[in-house]
């Protein structure tokens, strides 16, 4: 119902806008070209494009897990319907094989198809518009040298009039500012580099910023937290719920390795992001880390104090995966009320064992899942665990879906929130638990085989699928 | 008759081959197996000319006893490892004795009851034990018939054995129970037996279902882990923080007061706790571990530098083949390969039950060698051997020397400190992974010269490896014995001699080259604890040789299969190669679609056991580096086929396991010890990696000697995968495991 | 004291509530089919069903099981009278060492009870949490498919019998 109201509002806007709008909305087609030969691209440019594509996570949206890379077809559920990602392999008939560099650059800069029609902002061109011409060249070189895959695009599943692309012109009128990136004069080089990368290809805000009713990122709530694939993307602004405030170093480690001892494992949709970060040059990753942390502002003195107390109490957790001399679990503390007893019996054996991350269970006092604004992530992890990866080292957590019923899960989560969360109880926890179990809210399950054992080990990274 | 200390799962599903056993005594002489050095002095002197293990246990009643109720008890010194030997031996005995399978009770490997047949390893079980049992059963039958002849007053030729009785032509019956008398079977076996004509087989060569599977799928007690004895208590060990670590301080008072705890045991650096209930014991173990402080042992070498470290260790260099003649080569190729430490990965961590009563220590254990383990434990406990008894009880698949022998020693030591009540000692997963002996890391190097026609004219091969067997042995082979306050010294490792070999197993190629030399660089010093793992050095050597053959073939512009045939004279090898290629649909010069590769590998295990060729189709996703086996086709020649289904099962399992090793597996370690302590850190094959099809084609050779097949698939599979990967990616990877990261790095952008 | 329903029988067990189900099954109730493989929920040797859902009994404290129905392999049938899943595994001889098999069977049982017409792909994905080291995977998959057939036949049989009467 709401969708239809929104849709018709847009339609009304379009009609009222009339001719001026039509002039704004219409774009010419760019002529198709013969698919360029692989050899025509400079290998150095192709390599640079690979790095940029890693930062942009193109492979994640444009690949069905287990399917051919970049061949598209991944279903992206939105409040408006389901959109399927397109084939961006250089296949001449079903991919972008006949796209000129200009067409590609225009798609990134202006959100337009080769034939001039608007692209759905599920393709985050509101971010990609910031990408420089030079970087678009490299991306083009990279994509055009991939293996072509014949895979026709799937029809999007959108109601009328949203399935009429010209409607998107209205959306763009309201929410889209074309790039490229303009450096902030009052900020240093690293910050601007980080901003360019994070706001551009990184499109962090696409998940980490809340969206309005029309699906656009809310201006003024930059990085205040969002949603992806049934997971909550934490606030990464001043409202960051991290027990230990992020630093550039810790953020850098987390982004590159996929885990940090004070923050946990990158999981759900974040797992492939950190997996891809392994292929981003170190200085770029560091810039992104610096920019992101800068967005969080300076933590308050109170927050710093609490973090120090926490660290002192729990002690540092060293690198490596070696457990104690018996096994990798511990004697759990005995529980009292139901939630505490469940924690003691089912969780504490691993989560208080002190076994180092990434393979040990994180001490929940550090967990953003427990401290964060929404219980979604914690519910997902407790129900589904962390799945084993195919033939690669990855933390494995069993799921407790069959073990805990809804009442037990609510009791457990409430207890964790109270004991470790340092924050008020979640509202709507019952409902969130019910929705997760019933499948009303589907959460993606991605193996966390992107994690890297400490210390930094370049032989243990890779993309996720 | 002992095996040469190799791993082995002789998965003789059902049958003892008729033809194989008839030929067994000529075969025994021809294929005398060298004794493993450490075990030699424990074997009784073999008697001449008796078939199979009758050599070392010549009395018939060591193998077969008949009760007054006609029930038959059968004894074997071999152990059920999950390879189906129990069923197979029952069939052999049932056939020759003319009784029903159900009428026989089989007693396996027990130092208090059965013959000493060394280790159940190296696919020797049917050859050694099956042969002995067949002959013994046939001779027992004939003795009973002779006795019936006297009883019934009928000449023996007219009598026949049937259904547990001797029957005369006029229908009179004398049951075995009526015929048997004290001492009747206490006679020495004769060198020849009247074996049953295969044409009259009732149960041998039949696909009889395994007798142990029903219990395993219905919750029957089937494993040592499931043993329950009256009054049994639970025990757990606390291992040091790493190899060589010493216990500095222990404050175990609180642990002793924990619920259910009966005793905390400390003997030097050996720590254990005994409790009434299993979970109580586990909790006490964790508390005990927290209460202990260890001083770290000497630092292990860095994993990233392990191969350089190995190459730099002192070595004993032996040319195991030196047939060099000067050759003029037009082109030369050289390549070197590596293999990381790998783990047995037994699904069930090791376990043992021990009880001390009336001065006798009884241990129920899943060791592959009850006699050697017993001897080592007796030495550790400073007891005469007769006061220690080891009884084999099945564990999960071991694939070689895992923690079983050590768990038995732990249990025995704990039981000695806590006598009378049976003690069940169970290792934890992390302890199994961290402390079991590993498959050794190895380095190999191959060099060859090609002449103008593209034929190999000279061949030079070198392999660097630790020993592939540290099985007991002496007490010092046991972890517990090295930890106690008065420890036993670790025995000096020795190489397993050719023709079986250890690290140099299958280092000599079966191909014929005008000039060849193979060097074995035996490295006595072991940075990590190692021992026998299925196929031993053959896995790496065959991977190397067969990868290098492909590299040479490419250099010569030849098809890989054709290139192998060109250099292979052994006709059975040629047959197996041709059969696998044909069944696979191998076409010379065919280029599979982009991202896919075909690969081939061949070896004759130990150059004297089964022949096996594997062809595989691999798919490699270039963007991710992910490799997936789509299908595998194998051909195997194991001489006279005993059970085609059992053989296929064996080879199929070997292909799956070798694929897991080859694509995924490496032990991780840091300076303080092994860090791949669970399945998150030691990942292996799961269902999503299983190929769509695995075919095993058996080339039947009726009448030819039986050839051990349990380990023949490991090497050829690895090579086939490596070769397919080279074709799929255009890059040659030489470092096992061939992980996704390595593939992606090689493929580039 | 903890109350448990296992294979349709009520038990009262004098074990602390945080005892994992695996040890209660094996150490108290002498039901040995579920096995210890890792104790970490990584290998599946301990798999049983709770209210028809496959769980790792090694990470399931018994305090959570009041009012829920636990099913183990022993509840699927006996050696004398094996159930469809067990018959399928015997007929396919789907075991080498057999240690992982009870866990495999319970995992498969949970799938087939919910979805008797599961496709090969669904079976394969569903079995992912369970490890087998001997390489018996292909036989296990065949046994699960066979069990699906047997279960469907068993479901149909009562109707057939009553129709025939």
Inter-axis angle of helices A101-110 and A133-144, nearest 10 = 120
**B224-297+351-426 topology per CATH:** Aldehyde Oxidoreductase; domain 4 (3.30.365)
Do residue A294 and residue A419 come from a single domain?
Answer: yes
pLDDT over 80 (residue B31): no
The B residues from 251 to 290 touching C (CB cutoff 8 Å) are 277-279, 282
**A-B contacts at Cβ under 8 angstroms:** 130
- 0.95 exceeded by pTM: no
Backbone angle region of C75, left / alpha / beta, with phi > 0 → left and psi within -120 to 50 → alpha: alpha
Q: In 3D, which of B662, C130, C59, B432 has the Cα closest to residue A387?
A: C130
Give chain B positions within 8 Å (CB) of C73.
Answer: 217-219
Residue C136's domain comprises 2-164
Give chain A positions within 8 Å (CB) of C60.
Answer: 346, 403
Which of the listed residues A156, A175, A194 is the one where a domain comes to its end?
Answer: A175
Write the DSSP string, B40-63.
Answer: GGGSPPPPTT--GGGGT--BGGGT
CB within 8 Å: A403 and C60: yes
Alpha-carbon gap: C115 to the closest alpha carbon of chain A (Å): 17
Decide: A450 and A387 in contact? Cβ < 8 Å.
Answer: no
Residue A158's domain comprises 2-175
Kindly state whether C47 is in contact with chain A, defined as any CB-CB distance less than 8 angstroms: no
* Cβ partners under 8 Å of residue B362, min gap 6: B112, B354, B355, B356, B388, B389, B391
Dist CA A223 CA A208 (whole Å): 5
Burial class of A163 by CB neighbour count within 10 A (0 to 12, 13 to 18, 19+): middle
| Residue A207 included in any domain | no
Provide the residue ranges of all domains of chain B, joining segments of one domain with +: 18-217, 224-297+351-426, 442-465+489-747
Kindly state whether B681 is in contact with chain C, defined as any CB-CB distance less than 8 angstroms: no
B20 phi and psi, to 5 degrees? Answer: -60, -40
Which of the listed residues A175, A200, A220 is the one where a domain comes to its end?
Answer: A175
Tokens of B609: 């056991």
Alpha-carbon gap: C157 to the closest alpha carbon of chain B (Å): 23
Decide: A413 and A396 in contact? Cβ < 8 Å.
Answer: no
Give chain C positions within 8 Å (CB) of B343.
Answer: none
The A residues from 313 to 372 touching C (CB cutoff 8 Å) are 327-329, 332, 334-335, 341-342, 344-346, 349-350
Alpha-carbon gap: B565 to the closest alpha carbon of chain A (Å): 34
pLDDT string in tens for chain A (465-residue length) = 677 888 888 787 766 667 777 777 889 999 999 999 999 999 999 999 999 999 999 999 999 887 888 999 999 888 889 999 999 999 999 999 999 999 999 999 999 999 999 999 999 999 999 999 999 999 999 999 999 999 998 999 999 988 899 889 999 999 999 989 999 999 999 999 999 999 999 999 999 999 999 999 999 999 999 999 889 999 999 999 999 999 999 999 999 999 998 999 998 899 999 999 999 999 999 999 999 999 999 999 999 999 999 988 875 454 445 667 788 887 777 777 889 999 999 999 899 888 888 999 999 999 999 999 899 999 999 999 998 988 999 999 999 999 999 999 999 999 999 999 988 999 999 999 999 988 777 777 766 544 332 222 222 222 221
B322 phi and psi, to 5 degrees? Answer: -145, 95
List the CATH code of the domain at B442-465+489-747. 3.30.365.10
The conformation of residue A456, written as its DSSP 8-state character, comes to -
* Cβ partners under 8 Å of residue A252, min gap 6: A285, A286, A289
Dist CA B675 CA B681 (whole Å): 7
pLDDT over 70 (residue C135): yes
Total residue count of chain C as it appears in this document = 165
Per-residue model confidence as pLDDT tens digits over B207-235:
788 899 999 999 998 899 999 999 999 99
Kindly state whether A69 is in contact with chain C, defined as any CB-CB distance less than 8 angstroms: no
Do residue A171 and residue A275 come from a single domain?
Answer: no
Decide: B350 and B395 in contact? Cβ < 8 Å.
Answer: yes
Dist CA B85 CA B207 (whole Å): 14
| Residue A200 included in any domain | no
- Which residue out of A345, A347, A359, A392 would a mutagenesis test of the C interface target, given it has the greatest number of C Cβ atoms within 10 Å? A345
Give chain A's domain count: 2
- At B323, which helix (H) or strand (E)? strand B316-323
Check residue B359 and give its pLDDT: 94
Per-residue model confidence as pLDDT tens digits over B402-456:
999 999 999 999 999 999 899 999 999 999 999 999 999 999 999 999 999 999 9
Which of the listed residues A175, A199, A219 is the one where a domain comes to its end?
Answer: A175
Give chain C positions within 8 Å (CB) of B234.
Answer: 27
Kindly state whether C90 is in contact with chain B, defined as any CB-CB distance less than 8 angstroms: yes
Give chain A positions within 8 Å (CB) of B667.
Answer: none
Give chain A positions within 8 Å (CB) of B429.
Answer: 327
Dist CA A247 CA A251 (whole Å): 6
Tell which wins on pLDDT, B48 or B734. Answer: B734
Dist CA C23 CA C14 (whole Å): 12
- At A291, which helix (H) or strand (E)? helix A282-295
A-contacting chains (≥3 CB pairs under 8 Å):
B, C
- Is the fold of B18-217 the same as that of B224-297+351-426? yes
b/e burial code for range B397-418 (CB count within 10 A of at least 16 → b): bbbbbbbbbbbbbbbbbbbbbb
Domain formed by B18-217, architecture:
2-Layer Sandwich (3.30)
Which CATH number do you get for residue C23?
Answer: 3.10.20.30
C-contacting chains (≥3 CB pairs under 8 Å):
A, B
Which CATH number do you get for residue A281?
Answer: 1.10.760.10
ipTM, two decimals: 0.94
Inter-axis angle of helices B85-97 and B131-152, nearest 10 = 30
Dist CA B63 CA B106 (whole Å): 10
Tokens of A226: 């969002």
């Amino acid at each position: 119902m709401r969708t239809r109201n929104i849709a018709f509002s847009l339609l009304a806007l379009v009609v009222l806008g009339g001719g001026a709008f039509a002039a704004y909305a219409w774009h010419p087609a760019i002529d198709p070209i013969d698919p360029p030969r692989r050899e025509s691209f400079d290998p150095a440019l192709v390599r640079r494009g690979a790095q940029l594509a890693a930062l942009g996570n193109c492979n994640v949206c444009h690949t069905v897990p287990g399917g051919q890379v970049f061949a598209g077809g991944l279903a992206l559920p939105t409040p408006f319907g389901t959109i399927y990602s397109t084939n961006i392999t250089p296949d001449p008939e079903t991919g972008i094989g006949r796209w000129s560099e200009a067409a590609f650059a225009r798609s990134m800069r202006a959100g337009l198809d080769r034939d001039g029609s608007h692209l759905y902002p599920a393709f985050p061109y509101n971010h990609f518009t910031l990408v420089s011409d030079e970087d678009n060249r490299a991306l083009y070189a990279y994509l055009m040298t991939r293996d072509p895959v014949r895979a026709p695009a799937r029809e999007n599943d959108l109601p009328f009039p949203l399935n009429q692309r010209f409607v998107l012109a209205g959306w763009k009128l309201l929410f889209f500012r074309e790039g490229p990136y303009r450096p902030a004069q009052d900020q240093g080089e690293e910050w601007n580099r980080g901003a360019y990368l994070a706001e551009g290809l990184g499109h962090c805000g696409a998940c980490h910023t809340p969206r309005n009713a029309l699906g656009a990122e809310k201006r003024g709530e930059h990085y205040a937290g969002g949603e992806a694939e049934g997971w909550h993307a934490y606030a990464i602004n001043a409202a960051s719920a991290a027990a230990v405030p992020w630093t550039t170093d810790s953020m850098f480690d987390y982004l590159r390795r996929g885990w940090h001892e004070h923050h946990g494992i990158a999981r759900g949709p974040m797992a492939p992001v950190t997996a891809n970060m392994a292929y981003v040059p170190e200085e770029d990753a560091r810039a992104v880390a610096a920019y992101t942390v800068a967005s969080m502002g300076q933590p308050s003195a109170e927050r710093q104090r609490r973090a120090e107390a926490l660290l002192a109490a729990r002690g540092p957790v060293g690198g490596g995966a070696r457990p104690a001399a018996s096994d990798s679990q511990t004697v759990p503390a005995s529980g009292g009320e139901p939630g505490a007893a469940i924690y003691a019996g089912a969780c504490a054996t691993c989560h208080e064992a002190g076994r180092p991350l990434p393979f040990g269970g994180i001490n929940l006092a550090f967990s953003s899942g427990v401290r964060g604004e929404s219980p979604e992530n914690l519910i997902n992890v407790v129900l589904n665990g962390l799945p084993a990866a195919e033939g690669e080292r990855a933390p494995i957590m069993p799921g407790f879906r069959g073990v805990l019923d809804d009442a037990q899960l609510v009791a457990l989560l409430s207890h964790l929130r109270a004991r470790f969360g340092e924050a008020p109880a979640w509202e709507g926890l019952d409902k969130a638990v019910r929705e997760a179990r019933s499948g009303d809210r589907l959460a993606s399950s991605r193996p966390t085989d992107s994690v890297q054992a400490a210390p930094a080990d370049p032989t243990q990274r890779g993309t996720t699928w | 008759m002992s095996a040469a200390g190799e791993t082995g799962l002789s998965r003789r599903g059902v049958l003892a081959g008729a033809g194989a056993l008839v030929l067994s005594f000529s075969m025994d002489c021809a294929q005398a197996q060298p004794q493993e050095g450490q075990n030699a002095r424990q074997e009784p002197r073999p008697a001449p000319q008796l078939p199979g293990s009758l050599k070392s246990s010549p009395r018939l009643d060591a193998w077969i006893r008949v009760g007054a109720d006609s029930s038959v008890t059968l004894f074997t010194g071999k152990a059920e490892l999950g390879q189906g030997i129990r069923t197979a031996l029952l069939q052999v005995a049932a056939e020759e004795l003319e009784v029903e399978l159900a009428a026989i009770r089989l007693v396996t490997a027990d130092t208090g009851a059965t013959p000493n047949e060394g280790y159940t390893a190296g696919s020797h079980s049917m050859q050694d034990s099956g042969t002995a049992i067949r002959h013994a059963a046939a001779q027992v039958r004939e003795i009973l018939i002779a006795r019936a002849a006297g009883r019934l007053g009928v000449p023996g030729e007219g009598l026949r054995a049937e259904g547990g009785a001797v029957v005369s032509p006029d229908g009179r019956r004398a049951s075995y129970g009526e015929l048997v008398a004290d001492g009747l079977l206490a006679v020495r076996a004769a060198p020849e037996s009247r074996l049953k004509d295969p044409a009259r087989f009732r149960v041998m060569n039949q696909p009889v279902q395994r007798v142990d599977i029903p219990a395993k799928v219905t919750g029957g007690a089937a494993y040592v882990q499931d043993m329950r004895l009256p009054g049994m208590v639970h025990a757990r060990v606390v291992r040091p923080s790493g190899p060589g670590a010493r216990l500095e301080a222990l404050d175990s008072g609180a642990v002793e007061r924990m619920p259910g705890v009966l005793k905390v045991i400390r003997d030097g650096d050996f720590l254990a706790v005994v409790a009434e209930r299993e979970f109580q014991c586990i909790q006490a173990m964790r508390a005990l571990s927290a209460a202990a402080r260890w001083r770290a042992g000497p630092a292990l070498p860095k994993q990233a530098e392990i191969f350089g470290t190995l190459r730099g260790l002192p070595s004993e260099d032996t040319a195991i083949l030196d047939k060099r003649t000067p050759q003029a080569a037009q082109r030369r190729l050289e390549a070197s390969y590596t293999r990381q430490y790998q783990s047995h990965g037994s699904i069930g961590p090791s376990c043992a039950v021990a009880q001390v009563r009336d001065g006798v220590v009884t241990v129920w254990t899943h060791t592959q060698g009850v006699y050697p383990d017993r001897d080592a434990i007796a030495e550790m406990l400073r007891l005469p051997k007769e006061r220690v008894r080891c009884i084999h009880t099945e564990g999960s698949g071991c694939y070689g020397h895992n923690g079983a022998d050590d768990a038995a020693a732990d249990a025995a030591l704990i039981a000695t400190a806590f006598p009378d009540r049976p003690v069940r000692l169970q290792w934890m997963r992390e302890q199994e992974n961290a402390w079991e002996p590993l498959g050794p890391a190895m380095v190999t190097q191959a060099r060859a010269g090609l002449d103008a026609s593209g034929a190999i004219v000279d061949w030079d091969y070198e392999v660097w490896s630790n020993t592939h067997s540290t099985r007991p042995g002496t007490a010092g082979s046991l972890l517990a014995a090295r930890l106690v306050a008065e420890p036993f010294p670790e025995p000096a490792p020795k190489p397993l001699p050719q023709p079986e070999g250890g690290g140099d197993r299958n280092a000599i190629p079966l191909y014929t080259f005008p000039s060849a030399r193979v060097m074995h660089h035996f490295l006595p010093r072991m940075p990590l604890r190692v021992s026998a793992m299925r196929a031993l050095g053959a896995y790496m050597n065959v991977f190397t040789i067969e990868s290098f053959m492909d590299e040479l073939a490419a250099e010569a512009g030849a098809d890989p299969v054709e290139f192998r045939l060109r250099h292979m004279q052994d006709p059975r090898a040629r047959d197996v190669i041709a059969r696998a290629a044909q069944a696979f649909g191998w076409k010379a010069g065919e280029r599979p679609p982009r991202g896919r590769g075909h690969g081939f590998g061949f070896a004759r295990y130990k150059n004297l056991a089964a022949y096996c060729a594997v062809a595989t189709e691999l798919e490699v996703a270039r963007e991710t580096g992910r490799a997936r086996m789509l299908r595998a086709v194998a051909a195997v020649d194991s001489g006279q086929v005993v059970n085609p289904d059992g053989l296929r099962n064996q080879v199929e399992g070997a292909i799956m396991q070798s694929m897991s090793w080859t694509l995924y597996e490496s032990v991780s370690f840091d300076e303080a010890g092994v860090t791949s302590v669970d399945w998150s850190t030691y990942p292996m094959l799961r269902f999503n990696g299983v190929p769509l099809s695995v075919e095993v084609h058996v080339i039947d050779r009726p009448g030819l000697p039986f050839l051990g097949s349990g380990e023949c698939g490991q090497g050829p599979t690895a090579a086939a995968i490596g070769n397919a990967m080279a074709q799929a990616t255009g890059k040659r990877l030489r470092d096992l495991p061939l992980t996704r990261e390595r593939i992606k790095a090689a493929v580039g952008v | 004291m903890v109350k448990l329903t296992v294979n349709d029988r009520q038990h009262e067990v004098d074990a602390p509530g945080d005892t994992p189900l695996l040890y209660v099954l094996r150490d108290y109730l002498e039901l040995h089919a579920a096995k210890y493989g890792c104790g970490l929920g990584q290998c599946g040797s301990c798999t049983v069903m709770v209210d028809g859902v496959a769980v790792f009994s090694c990470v399931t404290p018994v305090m959570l099981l009041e009012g829920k129905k636990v099913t183990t392999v022993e509840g699927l049938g006996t050696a004398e009278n094996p159930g469809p899943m067990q018959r399928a595994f015997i007929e396919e001889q789907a075991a080498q060492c057999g240690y992982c098999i009870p866990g495999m069977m319970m995992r498969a049982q949970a799938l087939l009870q919910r979805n008797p017409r599961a496709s090969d792909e669904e079976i394969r994905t569903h079995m992912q949490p369970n490890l087998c080291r001997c390489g018996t995977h292909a036989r296990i998959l065949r046994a699960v498919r066979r069990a699906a057939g047997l279960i469907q036949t068993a479901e149909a049989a009562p109707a057939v019998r009553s129709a025939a009467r």
